[in-house]
Structure 1
């Protein structure tokens, strides 16, 4: 009986399409109130006065909380390797605990009212006075002040092999190029929302989070209660993509307001409030320099980046990660620098680092191919590597790029094109094709599970993993069904609740493999238990064995939920994780083929065709995996052609905080997208699974830019590719 690999429908499809699924803002408690944030209008300084009388007088207002009357809140601890939950602080600001303002948009008050309308009306009446401190908010103007990124095992600051600068100068063919990408903001369909309720010192939170267990630990720390007193529920999340990985002010302040008022509180951020209190993707300034001989062999590869963080936190992005792994250059220099600004800190956004880093790398490879008069695929294949290019020792656990390029080129019809730029027309449209490599590292995280087999034949899997639209419950049911040899529809999966066994965070594409490792282990233990029972009572089906033994069910448990058990789990996880990184380079990969049409007179650009071929190890569900890839490609098209957060370089204020002015792709922008997989298991990964969540967005920006060049003869090195850059 085999369900793995089959394109089965999602088990949560019915409840989502009928509206029965309850999201974070749809849970009701008696006495429920509504909260709205009030935002600072300066980038740095102190509050000298807060006028709240008019707001308090609005009918229905329960409380106006400020730093003058809010309950105390513990500051966020500094992150440590053995306390990963503290990495969840979107910022290190202790909200409503002081008069200090750290960024434009920082919450300085929370209005709680009987209705959301009253809360919004009152919030608009809160007025603040400030003393202003000089703030640094202009990213491009801060490039000269960037400092080396701090080094850590998760986000290394770079790499070096040989003397790449000297090799660049000596190279027969050399390019030294500058690429830029703008800041971008999260726009998940479901707004960030929290419903919080205190029962004595026990807190229940319904939240749109992609990191349930770390959320619970973080909230317990901030509010000074035992972890077991906090319950986080997130069975349905309407899109996340990294924006719901960290804890942002809305979650903390909803729980704080509920404690202050002794009433349940629902806080739903407006779209503008998401921009002003939830981090997005950092902008980048990248240098990509390539040196090669006349045959296309790379002698030098230099990739440096400047990104930003905030004075109150922020994410170090591995922009040069792909450049350290994709090409066998004789000399390599990779470096990450950070500029610290008085802005809301940046955060994870689908394939952080790799999404924008591959734009520069794969665009430059295309430019070098034209400089050499060589096919871009041929150039890549001449620099293919079997070991990590930097250390020359670590092998790739799974690397099938030649097969991916061969398959993709055939399906796209790559070799039928005229390689000359601006050589192909379709009426008024200039037609161009481009290609780029997709690459994203993978990892696994600890996961606790229980699997219960009942005498009626039903199977229950329990784990606090996440369902954000990718089909997580469906694939784990498929894995369980195959592992136990039972029908798929007899398996039920519980997830999305911190009262369940610890699940991995859904960030970095680890969830399917991490949970699968524990599920298959639990299923093996169950089968051994059944064999032991059968030896005493006789063989037969699972149900017959349990009925004869008069046992209602058998259960296998992987992992421990005790405090010491969790610490032991982390201690067991870290050494293999770090040692594995020293032995293997593990990554999902793919190839993106793009066709564009550009209006020769207006510069209007349309992506007309897309083919993506991917190696994500074993494919558990062909339908959900293909959907993941298409979603990543669509998000990549937004990165390439539309998305740009406009920050006022004088005030730090975001000038386009809405979907009317911040543009994302719509249906009319998306071409037919053909997706295929090698479906080749990685022998070093659980069930051969790598990861599907993020690799789909990588390489997309470069594939579009390369196709635009082929169509028009004009290089665009600054995203997004808008028509004004082509005129």
Structure 2
């Protein structure tokens, strides 16, 4: 029975629905100590001194640690695979506690106490003396002449990295491309456009807060139980931060309540471990609040794109340019990778006839630190790109679908810089399928007619592409293990982490498909323990069903082969070696049956090549006739007095391939002009993600991503005080994420084309759903109102300001 492609119920569904699934906070031992962090109250400066005397008098306080007490070791935090090449290693710019303050809310001290009340009281009694410096919360301020370098030991200025990329016949600059366009097409036949598009700084807002507890056991092993997407990377970076061997650190990851990339960083795990080490190894819990999570962990990068473009009047895009500036905040985290990713997709989502030029700058500022967030720079890139494309289409009077079909990334495209190839191509099919579902042609014609009144309607679209994993930019490696149980079921151990996305279910399906063991009899462990789990770099880059999926398939095939080895032995030794077992009749009958099926004599050796494992039965390969239940083989393998074999397999997959996913979103909206409110009347998303392993979990992934993209487009924006660097809306009341009341019905469909590089023809789906809804809504607003919104989110205030500026609504004066 096939498992791949079937809508199997999630393996963790029952535990999560009933509350039986154990998360980090559910596993804390009794009498655990509590830790809390003291955060700086300035945005840029130096801690001169911290007076702890009054805080130490609070009953229940066990230990207070300050930035002057921790090891003088700088370490990286980004959840990237470690590189043996120093030039490709992440930037070491953070300590357990920081004396040099670079963001408002920087970690400068911590309190360990018997209870949270004592922690809170002690924190309020700490007295800090600062040396304050001017605050720079914007890229412009940080790049200004004479701006203070935030990390002078690493950079002379605040530019983390600047990269320049071109794509086309030659390394044309935009100015050279424009000159060539005028010469070849005639100035009267081309149109130019120049615009700045801006994206917001956003918080991940995962439901489970960053939480961990740490202890040191009797053999000096430092154990951290934590909510993380990257347990094996946390282990390495914790060891680096503490200055201890990696083998001395153990990370346990239980069920996790969301991460979206924030937990693809090493957050407070090393500090938590150090706190335990300073109190004799006693268990210490460290859970930060929602407010601390929003201002003090990681955010999505605010990226501004300065764009230029030239297009022929019949819609041929000739040349484009983007200068992208990423506000990285006070620490490097993932560094330049996100802005570079933004630039890559700008240059490759459309193929310009002459050429494309991209410049990307990632800049240190005193704003909250930015890191990985679902989509990894592509939501920003596609916002910039798809706003630009609709503006070009409007300028030349062309249908937005037509201009995209004419210029989009083509089948078989191979990125000239990294070699990533569009191995299976469903982008145009997705566009056409989505257009039919959304009734694009009819709606577009209807809403193109002149509209007036308070409520106006429009339909818009946006496309996207997304790679699958990080090869060849970085290492892609994953391992998996399978172990046979006594009853014929098996354990599946993955280093890959389930973070709510349904990975465990898909891996179970893959393992069942490749091994021949029933889906219901494959038991996957959802907890990763770096002392016992196979190695995997973690949940990010939409890599797991592709990279870790290859490891899962590979180990299942190896596991099956070892089972068939033992089946061959059993069937060839049915009488003499199994006479003492309770299964002698079953094994003898199976041996006799296969010899009859193969038409061979009793003296002929039975080869495993004639056997298969299907639906937990040893069967004759050609006919599929059942011979022996796997349960009998397993029981025999464990307890045979003649040949006891504990059947298991472990395999590593070093992935050296990559491919593109793609898709489209169509959004139909109604805009309330005086109120600046946008109602989503209909939204349809079609994905080209190869063969879908489980349609139910896939739709769930897309639904969640679409909702997040709507928040990006309409409401989510971290507001930072430019004078202090303090986040002004670090709570879920003032930071507006969509709720169940805000999210419309979400329609999802797929174009299923087998990708030759995927383990089962599959490719990325985890992050692509978060990309296209925001610009699709923006472009629908453009058709409805004629107003091009260039800044996300398109809040009511911004919309009404823009409508007022365009003369579409009047200012009401109140006497």
Measured after TM superposition, the shift of residue 723 of structure 1 is 1.5
Alignment of 1:127-146 (within 5 A): 127-142=127-142
Rounded Cα–Cα distance in structure 1 between residues aligned with 2:543 and 2:387: 28
Match of 2:392 in 1: 368
Rounded Cα–Cα distance in structure 1 between residues aligned with 2:633 and 2:60: 62
Rounded Cα–Cα distance in structure 2 between residues aligned with 1:167 and 1:90: 36
Distance 1:423 1:53, change over 3 A: farther
Distance 1:65 1:424, change over 3 A: farther
Match of 2:320 in 1: 301
- Identify the match of residue 535 of structure 1 among 568, 583, 586: 568
Match of 2:504 in 1: 473
Residues 671-709 of structure 1: CA deviation (Å, up to 9, x unaligned): 100111122221022222211111011122210100111
Rounded Cα–Cα distance in structure 1 between residues aligned with 2:144 and 2:320: 22
Residues 92-136 of structure 1: CA deviation (Å, up to 9, x unaligned): 22133x633222211111111111122122212222111113342
Rounded Cα–Cα distance in structure 2 between residues aligned with 1:255 and 1:87: 27
Alignment of 1:190-589 (within 5 A): 190-200=208-218, 201-248=220-267, 250-262=268-280, 263-310=282-329, 312-314=331-333, 315-316=335-336, 317=338, 318-330=341-353, 331-384=355-408, 385-388=410-413, 391=416, 395-419=421-445, 423=449, 428-443=454-469, 445-495=476-526, 496-498=528-530, 499-538=532-571, 540-541=627-628, 542-547=630-635, 550=640, 551=644, 553-559=646-652, 573=654, 577=656, 580=657, 586-589=659-662
Q: Report if aligned partners of 2:343, 2:381 keep a CA contact under 8 Å in 1.
A: yes
Match of 1:23 in 2: 23
Measured after TM superposition, the shift of residue 425 of structure 1 is 7.1
Q: Report if aligned partners of 1:110, 1:253 keep a CA contact under 8 Å in 2.
A: no
Rounded Cα–Cα distance in structure 2 between residues aligned with 1:238 and 1:86: 34
Q: Report if aligned partners of 1:88, 1:214 keep a CA contact under 8 Å in 2.
A: no
Match of 2:769 in 1: 696
Rounded Cα–Cα distance in structure 1 between residues aligned with 2:420 and 2:159: 26
TM-score scaled by length of structure 2: 0.81
Rounded Cα–Cα distance in structure 2 between residues aligned with 1:435 and 1:408: 9
Measured after TM superposition, the shift of residue 620 of structure 1 is 1.0
Distance 1:286 1:144, change over 3 A: farther
Q: Secondary structure at the match of 1:244?
A: helix
Measured after TM superposition, the shift of residue 639 of structure 1 is 0.6
Measured after TM superposition, the shift of residue 397 of structure 1 is 1.2
Of the structure 1 ranges 164-173 and 257-266, higher mean CA displacement relative to structure 2 is found in 164-173
Rounded Cα–Cα distance in structure 1 between residues aligned with 2:99 and 2:456: 57
Rounded Cα–Cα distance in structure 2 between residues aligned with 1:493 and 1:86: 38
Alignment of 1:25-64 (within 5 A): 25-64=25-64
Measured after TM superposition, the shift of residue 311 of structure 1 is 5.1
Measured after TM superposition, the shift of residue 557 of structure 1 is 1.4
Match of 1:636 in 2: 709
State yes or no: 1:625 paired with 2:635.
no
Alignment of 1:72-221 (within 5 A): 72=71, 74-76=73-75, 82-83=83-84, 92-96=93-97, 99-142=99-142, 150=161, 157-161=164-168, 162=170, 163=172, 164-168=174-178, 170=182, 172-200=190-218, 201-221=220-240
Rounded Cα–Cα distance in structure 1 between residues aligned with 2:535 and 2:289: 31
Rounded Cα–Cα distance in structure 1 between residues aligned with 2:24 and 2:450: 51
Q: Report if aligned partners of 2:427, 2:662 keep a CA contact under 8 Å in 1.
A: yes
Query: Where does the alignment leave 5 or more consecutive residues of structure 2 unmatched?
Result: 146-156, 471-475, 572-589, 591-626, 801-815
Rounded Cα–Cα distance in structure 2 between residues aligned with 1:428 and 1:160: 45
Match of 2:602 in 1: none
- Identify the match of residue 714 of structure 1 among 787, 793, 809: 787
Rounded Cα–Cα distance in structure 2 between residues aligned with 1:199 and 1:233: 14
Distance 1:229 1:516, change over 3 A: same
Q: Secondary structure at the match of 2:194?
A: strand
Rounded Cα–Cα distance in structure 1 between residues aligned with 2:520 and 2:178: 60
Residues 638-679 of structure 1: CA deviation (Å, up to 9, x unaligned): 110111111111211111111111111111211100111122
Q: Secondary structure at the match of 1:417?
A: helix
Q: Secondary structure at the match of 1:150?
A: strand
Match of 2:796 in 1: 723
Measured after TM superposition, the shift of residue 239 of structure 1 is 0.8
Of the structure 1 ranges 81-90 and 459-468, higher mean CA displacement relative to structure 2 is found in 81-90
The number of residues matched between the two structures is 700
Rounded Cα–Cα distance in structure 2 between residues aligned with 1:29 and 1:58: 24
Residues 345-398 of structure 1: CA deviation (Å, up to 9, x unaligned): 310011121111100101111111122222111111111323548749975212
State yes or no: 1:66 paired with 2:66.
yes
Q: CA RMSD in A?
A: 2.7
Rounded Cα–Cα distance in structure 2 between residues aligned with 1:114 and 1:90: 36
Rounded Cα–Cα distance in structure 1 between residues aligned with 2:443 and 2:404: 18
Distance 1:215 1:598, change over 3 A: same
The structure with the largest alpha-carbon Rg is: 2
Measured after TM superposition, the shift of residue 512 of structure 1 is 1.6
Measured after TM superposition, the shift of residue 527 of structure 1 is 2.5
Match of 1:564 in 2: none
Rounded Cα–Cα distance in structure 2 between residues aligned with 1:676 and 1:84: 42
Distance 1:665 1:140, change over 3 A: farther
Q: Report if aligned partners of 1:219, 1:252 keep a CA contact under 8 Å in 2.
A: yes
Match of 1:563 in 2: none
Distance 1:460 1:90, change over 3 A: farther
Distance 1:196 1:285, change over 3 A: same
Q: Report if aligned partners of 2:495, 2:538 keep a CA contact under 8 Å in 1.
A: no
Of the structure 1 ranges 229-238 and 539-548, higher mean CA displacement relative to structure 2 is found in 539-548
Measured after TM superposition, the shift of residue 48 of structure 1 is 2.3
TM-score scaled by length of structure 1: 0.91
Q: Report if aligned partners of 1:422, 1:713 keep a CA contact under 8 Å in 2.
A: no
Residues 239-258 of structure 1: CA deviation (Å, up to 9, x unaligned): 1011011112x322221111
Q: Secondary structure at the match of 1:668?
A: coil
Match of 1:562 in 2: none
Residues 556-601 of structure 1: CA deviation (Å, up to 9, x unaligned): 1113xxxxxxxxx8xxx4xx74xx57xxxx2111100111111132
Of the structure 1 ranges 280-289 and 543-552, higher mean CA displacement relative to structure 2 is found in 543-552
Measured after TM superposition, the shift of residue 221 of structure 1 is 2.1
Measured after TM superposition, the shift of residue 157 of structure 1 is 4.9
Rounded Cα–Cα distance in structure 2 between residues aligned with 1:479 and 1:509: 17
Distance 1:457 1:108, change over 3 A: same
Q: Report if aligned partners of 1:509, 1:694 keep a CA contact under 8 Å in 2.
A: yes
Rounded Cα–Cα distance in structure 1 between residues aligned with 2:537 and 2:544: 6
Match of 2:809 in 1: none
Rounded Cα–Cα distance in structure 1 between residues aligned with 2:770 and 2:63: 44
Distance 1:47 1:545, change over 3 A: closer
Rounded Cα–Cα distance in structure 1 between residues aligned with 2:543 and 2:727: 33
Q: Report if aligned partners of 1:607, 1:669 keep a CA contact under 8 Å in 2.
A: no
Q: Report if aligned partners of 2:457, 2:670 keep a CA contact under 8 Å in 1.
A: yes
